[in-house]
Amino acid sequence: MKMNGANALVQSLVDHGVEIIFGIPGGVMIPIYDALYDRKDIRNMLMRHEQGAAHAADGYARATGKVGVCFATSGPGATNLVTGLATAQMDSIPVLAVTGQCRTTAIGKDSFQEADITGITMPITKHNYLVKDAAQIPRIVAEALYIARTGRPGPVLIDVPMDMSLAEIEYEPVKDVKIRSYSPEREIDDSAIDAAAQLIADAERPVLYAGGGVIASGASDELLALSEKTHILVTTTLLGKGAIPETHPHSLGMLGMHGTAYANHAVHNCDLLIAVGARFDDRVTGKLAAFARKARVIHIDIDPAEIGKTVPADVAIIGDCKEILRRLVSKVQPRSETDWNKQIMKWRNEFPLVCPMDEERLLPQCVIAKIWEMTRGDVILVTDVGQHQMFTALHYKVTKPRRFLSSGGLGTMGYGLPAAIGAQVGCPNETVVAICGDGGFQMTVQELAPAVEHKLPIKICLMNNKYLGMVRQWQELFWNNRYSGVDISVQPDFVKLAEAYGAVGLRVTKMSEIEPAFGKALEVNDRPTIIDFVIHREENVFPMIPAGQSIEEMMVNRPK
C-alpha cells in the first residue's frame, strides 16, 4: 500500500495493538493528526498540557501493563513531555512518545519551534529516534514499542520531521523485531539460583524486599508462593505496593524513609535480604553504611546495571523476576515460622500504624484509612506526590498488583490527576481513586477538562492543608519552623472549580462527613468528583527517617 509517513505511523501503531493516544497537536503534527481523522480503530484523547499527556500515558501503562502512547508537537510541545518521560524512566514504565519536528532541511537552523528533543531526552529515555527516512517509519515504530516493553521497561521517543510525515512510502507492516544491539532475553544462571536457595536454607533472619520489578514482570503469585513456602516476611518499596496483598499476614508494608517502623527494624536486623526487582534507592537505604549491615544479600533483577550499583550482592541472579522466582520456589526447602517471625510481629505490635480519632481536626491518615475501609482495596488508587502520598502508602492496603500508581523515583508533583485519567481509560470498568495534595493538584488541574469531556468517573480526594506539606514538614523538623515559600492559602474554592469544569464538587471538614461524601462520589458514574478534604494544616507523616540517616534516627512520632 502506498501512503504518506503520517499514515504509516498511525497504521503501524494500530498494527501493534495501540488503541489510544494522549496528546495535543501543533503545526508540524497536523499531517499525523490528519491521519487519525475518521479512524475507528485508534483515537486521540485531547489533553490540555503535554505533561498531562505523558502522565496519562504513564498511568495507562502502569494500570494495564501495555505501552502508553503520547503525542506532542515540536519545540515547546516536545519539551513539555520531558517531566513525564523522566518520571517514566525513573520508574521503568513503558511509554512511547511521538513528537513532531521541523523539516529535515530546517533542522539545526534555529527554525520556528525547533528543539533538539532527541538530544534533550537522551538521558531520560531508554532509546530515541529521529526519523530521517520515511520508509523506515514502520520499522522504527515496531522497534520502539518492543524496546519500551521488553527487558527493563522504559520510555522511548520518536521524533518525526514534517517532511517525513508527508513523504510517500510503500507501506509494509513489520511483525518481527530483531535488533542486533539489543537482546533483552537472558539465560538465567541456575547455579546462582542454587546458591540463593542455600543462603535461604542457612539464614536465621531472612527478609524479602520487593520492588516495582515484581509488578512489571507479573511475578506477584511467585513472590507470594516463595513467602508462604519459606515463611519469609515481605516488605515492599513504594512502587512494589500490591506485589503481595498488604492484608496478608506476611506483609510488612513499605520500608524506607516513611516506611513502617517494623519493616525498617526487620531489614536493619536481618541476616539475609532477598531483593527482588528493587534497586536499593536512597529513600530505602538511608545511610548506606548502616543499611542492613548484618545481612548477606541476594539481588534478583532484570537489569545487570543495578547489580552492585548501590549495595554489593553476595548472590546476583539476572533475568526476569517471574521465571527466577518460579525456579527458586521449586528449589528452596519449606521453612516453618520461627522466633524471627515472632520478633517482627512484636515490633509490629510495638510500633503500630494508628489513626487518632479527632472530631475537631480532620487528619489525612484518618481520611485515607476511612477510604480503605469503604473500598477494601477494590479500586485503582493513584497518588500525586507529597505528604498525602506517604500517608496513603502507609494507611491504604493494596491487595493486587497494578492497583497502586505513584511517581516514585522522580517524585513528580502534578502526576496524580492525569495518571488517573490514563488508568481510567485503560481500565474503564474499574473504580479509580486519585488522592492528591492541593499543591500538586494545581500543577495539572487543567486535565479536569478531558476527564469531564470523556465522562470519566474518577474520584479525586484532595488533601487540602493550604501548604506544600512535605517541604513544610522538613522546615518544621529541621529548619526551626522557618516556613519559606510553602504557604499556598491563596487558592481556588475547589468545589466551585469542580463545578466550573462540569465535575461534581464536595467538601469535608470533619470525620463524620467522610463516609457520606465518599459514598456519594462512588455513586457518580458520568463525570469526575472532587472531594475537598480540609485537613489539619500541620499534620506530619511518621514514621520518618531523616534523609541520609539510619534507623537509629527514626522518628516514630512528632518530636517533643
> In this predicted structure, what is the pLDDT of residue 455?
98
Check whether residue 493 and residue 445 sit in a common domain.
yes
Mean pLDDT in residue range 303-316: 97
How many angstroms separate the CA atoms of 472 and 470, rounded?
Answer: 5
CATH number of the structural domain spanning residue 226 = 3.40.50.1220
Check whether residue 206 and residue 256 sit in a common domain.
yes
pLDDT band (50, 70, 90) for residue 359: confident
End of a domain among 350, 385, 414?
350
Structural domain total, the chain: 3
Check whether residue 199 and residue 122 sit in a common domain.
no
Tell whether 303 is covered by a domain.
Answer: yes
Detail the DSSP E strand segments found in 125-223.
127-130, 156-161, 168-170, 206-210
Model confidence at 105: pLDDT above 60? yes
Q: Is the peptide bond before 543 cis (omega within 30 degrees of 0)?
A: yes
Mean pLDDT in residue range 36-48: 97
Check whether residue 279 and residue 386 sit in a common domain.
no
Check whether residue 159 and residue 196 sit in a common domain.
no
Provide Rg for the chain, Cα atoms. 24
- Which DSSP letter does residue 289 get? G
> In this predicted structure, what is the pLDDT of residue 354?
86
Model confidence at 451: pLDDT above 60? yes
Model confidence at 560: pLDDT above 70? no
Instruction: Write out 464-524 in H/E/C secondary structure.
Output: ECCECHHHHHHHHHHCCCCCCCCECCCCCCHHHHHHHHCCEEEEECCHHHHHHHHHHHHHC
- Residues 242-292 have pLDDT tens digits of 999 999 999 999 999 999 999 999 999 999 999 999 999 999 999 999 999
Tell whether 356 is covered by a domain.
Answer: no
Check whether residue 313 and residue 345 sit in a common domain.
yes
Tell whether 502 is covered by a domain.
Answer: yes
pLDDT band (50, 70, 90) for residue 356: confident
pLDDT band (50, 70, 90) for residue 355: confident
How many angstroms separate the CA atoms of 11 and 14, rounded?
Answer: 5
Model confidence at 114: pLDDT above 70? yes
Check whether residue 161 and residue 213 sit in a common domain.
no
Tell whether 34 is covered by a domain.
Answer: yes
Check whether residue 12 and residue 154 sit in a common domain.
yes
Check whether residue 329 and residue 212 sit in a common domain.
yes
Check whether residue 6 and residue 132 sit in a common domain.
yes
- With b for 16 or more beta-carbon neighbours within 10 A and e for fewer, the 236-264 pattern comes to bbbbbbbbbbbeeebbbbbbbbbbbbbbb
Check whether residue 119 and residue 248 sit in a common domain.
no
pLDDT band (50, 70, 90) for residue 14: very high
Domain with 36, as residue range(s), is 2-170
> In this predicted structure, what is the pLDDT of residue 124?
98
Mean pLDDT in residue range 221-226: 98
DSSP 223-246: HHHHHHHHT--EEE-STTTTSS-T
Mean pLDDT in residue range 511-526: 97
> In this predicted structure, what is the pLDDT of residue 274?
98
> In this predicted structure, what is the pLDDT of residue 542?
95
Tell whether 98 is covered by a domain.
Answer: yes
pLDDT band (50, 70, 90) for residue 559: low
pLDDT band (50, 70, 90) for residue 332: very high
Check whether residue 259 and residue 384 sit in a common domain.
no
Mean pLDDT in residue range 363-379: 96
pLDDT band (50, 70, 90) for residue 202: very high
First to last CA, the chain: 74
Backbone angles phi, psi at 279, to 5 degrees: -120, 15
Tell whether 185 is covered by a domain.
Answer: no
Model confidence at 197: pLDDT above 80? yes
Residue that is written with C-alpha cell 512494589 in the block: 240
